[in-house]
Amino acid sequence: MFGCLPFFESAGIKADFFLSVFSKEDITYTTYRKDKNMVFSSIPFLFYFLPAVIVAYFVAALIHRKVYANAVLLASSLLFYAWGEPKYMVLMVASTVIGFGFSLITEMAMKAEKKALARLSLILAVGINLAALGVFKYADFAIGGVNTLFGLNLTLPGIALPIGISFYTFQILSYCVDVYRGDVPAQKNIINFAAYVTMFPQLIAGPIVRYKDVNKQLEERTYSFEKVYLGLQRFIIGLSKKVLLANILGELCSTFKASEENTVLFAWMYAVAYALHVYFDFSGYSDMAIGLGKVFGFDFIENFNYPYISKSATEFWRRWHMSLGTWFRDYVYIPMGGNRVPFVRWILNILTVWALTGLWHGASMTFVVWGLYFAVLLVLEKLFIKKFLEKLPAFISHIYTLLAVFISFIIFDAENFSVAGKRLAMMFGFGADSFAGVETLYNLRNYAVVFIIGIIAAMPVAKVFKEKVKLSPYVAMLLCAVLFTAVTAFLVDGSFNPFLYFRF
């Protein structure tokens, strides 16, 4: 790509444009205030907020579950959101009211056979919410690109990114579209609808819960000690994945980035560590969200299904962040015609969906290229690679998929393409000082146990064991208590507790 720079410079486009537009460092991107936000993996949430909410929730459910349970859930969700950034609660409430009001108009217009009014109502609801997402997430990125492209000096707004805006915006959009399609009735109770949009268990990082999957549960759901027990068990497993695995692996990634030792082995250690870090960080949060949902009587969809056992990139994306993949499939890809269009149009559909998928993850060209990288790979698999892979032993297909995923996440994590290129080149010996050095071997010894546990935990070993060996509930409770104690010790003693998906 950068070999083409002389051509563009001759056309009057300076190389600085590429180095800035394609960089996460050179443009002041939208930021977020993680330090002030409440997260699941924190002492205040675990020991103060969550116990208080559970007690208040079930007291309300005992008094009158249909009237008060959702009201308590809504109030606690707004408190959770407002903990770190109360001013952006107004934005979330406004988005919720807009989705609620316009969908009522849409349904009434459809019943009255006024399709033009229904379509206008849908366009306004979708347009306003997308505009808000664009301003708060992509304004700096867009203005920075315009500045470098046209040599301007427009002031960047520097707007902080409201946590969870991508998730709750997508939930509102899918609801509005489903009402227009007649797939679900419009919700008449603003408290129930607001509880769905703002629900704190999955507000920050999903899974993206569609209204049609929980609309009946908003009206009537079952509570039991068994659901609470299973929900808390799932929550503790997710919390352990986040604190005991993702955080530690994240420390190794930070060590690699800060190190001046350029070795092949260190680069591969980073590639594997980051891939596992992302997985345990995000799937851990999804586990916590699904577990808390179960405590409150909801059954949320699964979001991950052991993606690292996949034999192709296509299979990987059927197992990774499933709620996002199906959302883009149902609300972007299929409405564009899917694969029921001419070949060139199908290629365009694929590229569009995956460019948007990348852009959804962040306001940077590295994310867009990350998405397009998978688009090209999926097209090649469908046309050529799939038949070839089917003839090979399974372990070779696994190696191919893992290598493809490792490469993708190096692009995903890099500040710019130059950094990504150096890290990828180092993995294959280019630009490396040696195969391994003193610091590399020191970190390998220090993190070897975490690597082994992480690799095992990323495979369905525990799931198979659980199916074959029926653990006593008392043993399961004891294991959860041990994990929770270890997590608490890490949280009290440690300071490295980032959360990757806050930026989405």
Active site residues per annotation = 361
**CA distances for 469 relative to 232, 462, 464, angstroms:** 21, 10, 8
Bridge partners of 23, per DSSP, are 416
Identify the sign of the CA torsion 456, 358, 126, 332. Answer: negative
Write out the DSSP string of 20-31: HHTBSSSS---B
Based on C-alpha coordinates, what's the Rg of the chain? 24
Q: Give the chain's end-to-end CA distance (angstroms, integer).
A: 28
Using CB atoms within 10 A of its CB, is residue 276 exposed (0-12), middle (13-18) or buried (19+)? Answer: buried
Structure token digits, residue 58: 């079930």
Helix axes 211-219, 190-198, angle to 10 degrees: 130
d(CA 8, CA 282): 39
Tokens 């930026």 found at: 503
Contact 263, 422 (CB under 8 A): no
Q: Is residue 163 helix, strand or coil?
A: coil
> Residue-wise over 188-225: b if at least 16 C-beta within 10 A, else e?
eeebbbbbbbbbbbbbbbbbbbbbebbbebbeebebee
Q: What is the DSSP letter of 333?
A: I
Q: What is the DSSP letter of 206?
A: -
**What are residue 160's phi and psi, to 5 degrees?**
-70, 140
d(CA 481, CA 493): 18
Bridge partners of 31, per DSSP, are 160
d(CA 299, CA 360): 25
The letter for the amino acid at 379 is V
